[in-house]
Amino acid sequence: MRIDIAEITQAILAVDDGINERWNRGDVDGALEVYSDDVSYFDPLTELRLDGHAAVEAYFRKVFEGKLKILRNDYLHPVVMVSDGGDMAVLHYNLRNIVSDGQGGEKPGTPWNSTQVFRHIEGRWRVVHVDWSITLHPGALQSLMS
């Protein structure tokens, strides 16, 4: 079987674009529809890793649903690494959110690192692991050295 890395890369990026387009409006279902039953999830607000779709869904609905108002995103340095078998892929990128400045203009939001692991399950790409971290956090190194 020949693995078409370009085709897989395009498919993974399209899935992620769909997630983020809905996420920006506070619609968490775009992500939840793609997450696998056994998804694991980290972000800077979670104390521990969330395991399983139900745990991630409860967290998303409590913390994010209907509350996000992101105007658009800039995806910097996206990389998709595909497994030799072509059934798993890792997507990494830096995300820059653009949000309202409250005065009719725009301003940069929090910069993020995103790593997502995808697995091809029953004919479609599903997210099995997600890790979000804040990029260039000024206190990160300082806290290690004080």
What are the pLDDT digits (tens) for 72-127? Answer: 999 999 999 999 999 999 999 999 999 999 999 999 998 999 999 999 999 999 99
Whether residue 12 has pLDDT greater than 60:
yes
- Domain borders along the chain are 5-137
0.85 surpassed by pTM? yes
Listed in sequence order, the residues at least 6 apart from 104 whose beta carbon sits closer than 8 Å to its beta carbon are: none
Whole-number Å distance between alpha carbons of 93 and 112: 8
CATH topology for the 5-137 domain:
Nuclear Transport Factor 2; Chain: A, (3.10.450)
CA angle, 14 as apex, 12 and 18 as ends, to 5°? 120
Give the burial string for 36-48 (b: 16+ CB within 10 Å, else e).
beebbbbbeeeee
